[in-house]
Structure 1
């Protein structure tokens, strides 16, 4: 028989590990805020502003793999020079730092400690792999609200995770904005 972990933290029991996938989109940051408000900040003894962490929070950002060639609409692919590759790598690393810092800032404002991990590769696959390696109890991902056609062409990270992650996946949709 398989042993299961209690998902809700109580005294003497292991706290759950929640992994939140973050990127530069507002949808992922909304998902993080939702997770913080609903899973990590709870009233303690009548003190509504005092945080009560219900588990371990891990922020994961997937850095796209670097393509070493550039496709032209007319003609063959052109391989990038090493200086161009270095420049793009530095820009990607800076973008990852910025995304993580922005997400950690949201956590700090809510007085919740968070770990951060940057993984390299296709976001769909690396987020699922990170969740498995960290023995995540819950994976939280945002939804960008792609249309069915765009989702079919581009693929949806949240949809992929929902079907391939080895833990429960919570997809947080941002509220509809009025025009």
Structure 2
């Protein structure tokens, strides 16, 4: 039998965020379309922060001096991404939100966040890469669509007409 606290428990929506305009568009679109009239989800914003070694791509001579600087920069970028996302939520009167930065590959970080928060929806922005770039870089949205254990919504920013 469900108690009153069970019926009031909100479903969780995880949104993957980064420092791209596609990510900002995805957050704004989602808040406009899902939270404007019915804030029925608890919102979790997750930023996948690359490790310093993966960002630099080498571990030879000189790495010991470079890695702490790169790590510091990556932490600053993550803090900026999270702060921007918080401001978007504040602007939209969203208060039931968790924001976090997790070190790792975005594909794994987002799928793990779905499991951690028992999310029923994962939202990711689409960078709109062509087939070649997608083959070389890998598509976070494609990976999540196939591996996340929840519904996945991919938000594409409309192309501007010239």
Q: Same fold (TM over 0.5)?
A: yes
2:118 to 135, 141, 155: 135
What's the secondary structure of 1:67's corresponding residue? helix
Give yes or no for contact 1:40–1:54 (8 Å, CA) kept in 2.
Answer: yes
1:101-140 deviations in whole A, cap 9, x for unaligned? 1111111111112210111111111111111111011000
Say yes or no: does 1:84 pair with 2:79.
no
Counterpart position of 1:96 = 78
For 1:20 and 1:136, locate their aligned partners in 2 and report how far apart those are by CA, in whole Å.
10
Counterpart position of 1:111 = 93
TM-score normalised by length of structure 2: 0.89
What's the secondary structure of 1:178's corresponding residue? coil
1:62-86 deviations in whole A, cap 9, x for unaligned? 0012217655xxxxx7344433211
For 2:80 and 2:50, locate their aligned partners in 1 and report how far apart those are by CA, in whole Å.
15
- Higher helix content, 1 or 2: 2
1:27 to 22, 26, 42: 22
Counterpart position of 1:40 = 35
For 1:80 and 1:162, locate their aligned partners in 2 and report how far apart those are by CA, in whole Å.
39
What's the secondary structure of 2:52's corresponding residue? coil
| Greater gyration radius | 1
For 2:62 and 2:117, locate their aligned partners in 1 and report how far apart those are by CA, in whole Å.
35
* Structure 2 unpaired stretches of 5+: 1-5
What's the secondary structure of 1:176's corresponding residue? coil
Give yes or no for contact 2:51–2:71 (8 Å, CA) kept in 1.
Answer: no
1:17-60 deviations in whole A, cap 9, x for unaligned? 00000000111111111111111110xxxxxxxxx421200100
1:141: Cα distance to partner? Answer: 0.2
For 1:101 and 1:81, locate their aligned partners in 2 and report how far apart those are by CA, in whole Å.
30
TM-score normalised by length of structure 1: 0.81
1:150: Cα distance to partner? Answer: 0.9
Give yes or no for contact 2:16–2:124 (8 Å, CA) kept in 1.
Answer: yes
Counterpart position of 2:144 = 161
Number of corresponding residues? 155
* Structure 1 unpaired stretches of 5+: 1-10, 43-51, 72-76
